[in-house]
Amino acid sequence: MTVKVPQRNILDKILAIFGKERDIIGPESTGKLYKKYGPYVYIKGERESFWKVLFKKKTKKQKKRY
């Protein structure tokens, strides 16, 4: 399976200042497509909502980067 990752933009830079990072989300039907076509699946990933990540609590994964 190949995932096309969206490019980072200004919103990702703003979140980095706060020590947060947006995750990449795939379509809901990815599992079904993978079972049917195997490794020949191409999906377009999307980033999480800026506002959702901004107000979400930090996890251990999200540390400040300096």
Q: Rounded to an integer, what distance in angstroms lies between the CA atom of residue 63 and that of residue 34?
A: 33
Query: Quick one: which of 48, 47, 45, 46 has its CA closest to 4?
Result: 45
> pLDDT of 2-17, one tens digit each?
889 999 999 999 999 9
Would you state the structure tokens that stand for residue 23, as one six-digit string? Answer: 């995750």
Q: What does the pLDDT look like over 23-60, one tens digit per residue?
A: 988 888 888 888 888 888 888 989 999 999 999 887 66
Backbone torsion region of residue 19, taken as left when φ is above 0, otherwise alpha when ψ lies between -120 and 50, otherwise beta: left
Assessment of whether the complete model's pTM goes beyond 0.85: no
